[in-house]
Structure 1
Amino acid sequence: MKKTLILFFLLVGFHAVQAQENELTWHTNFEKAMQLSLKEKKPLMLFFTGSDWCGWCIRLQKEVFHKSEFAAWAKDKVILVELDFPRKKQLEPSMQQQNYGLQNALQVRGYPTIWFVTAEKKDDGKINLSQLGSTGYVAGGPEAWLTGANQILANFKKG
C-alpha cells in the first residue's frame, strides 16, 4: 500500500512539473512585454486574435500554441504577446486602445496574424517597431509552424 501511494504521488508530481514546464506566459500589456524583450534580448511575438469568435485562431492555438514543442521553442526564442479582439467580452478601454494601435501600426487586416518584431523606446517616449516578419495559421502542426517562424527569426540579431 505504501509503495502504491508513493508511486501515485511521484506520478502526480511529475505531471504537475511537466504541466508547469509547458505553461507559457502570454503578456497582454505591450509596455511590460517590451521591457522584458529588451532585458532578455528576445523579439516579441505579437498574436493578433479574435479569441472568442475566430475559428482559425482557435485552431492555431489547439494545433500549435498548446503543444509542448511550441512551449519549449517559445521559452527560448520569444516574448509572447496576445492582442485580442473579442466580440463576446469587453476589454478595458486602455487594452482596446493598445491593441487597436498596434493593429493599425502593423496594418493587420485579418486573424490570426502573428508579427515578430523588435521594439525600441526612443528618448521622446515613442516606440519604434522593427518588423522581422509575419505569419498566420499554417497547416501541419507545430513542426510546420515552427519551421516558418524560425525562418523569420533567422535574421534576428541579439543586441
Structure 2
Amino acid sequence: MKKLAFTFIIINLASFSIAGFTNNDSFEVNWNNLEYAQKLAKETPRPLFIEFTAKWCGWCKKMDKTTFSNSGVIKMLNEDYYAVKVDFDSPAPIDYQGIKYTGKELAKKFGIEGLPTMIYVPSSLEGSKKIVGYKTSKQLIKQLNRMNDP
C-alpha cells in the first residue's frame, strides 16, 4: 500500500512539474510604475507605453485578457518599451516629469477622453501619441510599429 501511495505522489509531482514548464501564466507584461519607467528611460533609452485603465472599464479588462496576454504583445512591450499602467481613478500622486498628478489629472494632461487609451512617449520623454480604444494584439503591434518608424 505504501508503494502505491508513493507512486501516486511521484506521478502527481511529475504532472505538476510538467504543467509548470508548459504554462505561460508567468509570461506577462512587466508593468512598471510611471516614476520608475521614467528613470529607466533616462538610464537606458526606450519609449514608454502607458495604459490608462480603471476597474469599471470593461474594454480595459478585455484588453488585459486578450491583447496584453498575447505572446507577441508581451515580447514587444517587455523588450522595446517600459510598460506602465495608470489607474484613472487613483487619487495617489503620480510623478510625471517632476509634477504630481492624480490618475484623472494625468489623463487630462494627455487629452484622454475615454478608456482604454494608451500613450506612447518617446525615449526622450518629449511629446506623446495616443492609441484610443480597444485594440486586438495585431492592431496594437501594428500601431506601435508605426510609432517607432522615423
Q: TM-score range by the shorter chain?
A: 0.7 to 0.9
2:14 and 2:92 map into 1 onto residues whose CA distance is: 50
User: Which of the residues 35, 43, 47 maps onto 2:47?
Assistant: 43
**Residues of 2 paired with 1:153 and 1:61: CA distance?**
23
How many residues align structurally? 138
Q: Aligned-pair RMSD on alpha carbons?
A: 2.6
Mapping 1:25-36, distance limit 5 Å: 25-28=30-33, 30-36=34-40
Counterpart CA distance in 2 for 1:84 and 1:23 is 19
Change (3 A) 1:59 1:13: closer
Could you tell me how far apart the structure 2 residues matched to 1:13 and 1:108 are? 40
In structure 2, distance between residues paired with 1:145 and 1:118: 16
Taking structure 1 as reference, are residues 61 and 137 closer, same or farther at Cα in structure 2, changes over 3 Å only? farther
Structure 1 segments (4+ residues) deviating >6 Å: none
Query: Counterpart in 2 of 1:134?
Result: 130
Which one has a bigger Cα radius of gyration? 2
TM-score, with length taken from structure 2: 0.74
Determine if the alignment matches structure 1 residue 116 to structure 2 residue 120.
yes
**Tell me, which stretches of 5 or more residues in structure 1 are unaligned?**
121-127
TM-score, normalised to structure 1, is 0.71
Counterparts of 1:1-159 in structure 2 under 5 Å? 1=7, 4=11, 7-15=14-22, 18-20=24-26, 22-28=27-33, 30-50=34-54, 52-86=55-89, 91-95=90-94, 97-118=101-122, 129-131=126-128, 133-139=129-135, 141-155=136-150
CA–CA distance in structure 2, aligned partners of residues 108 and 74 of structure 1: 21
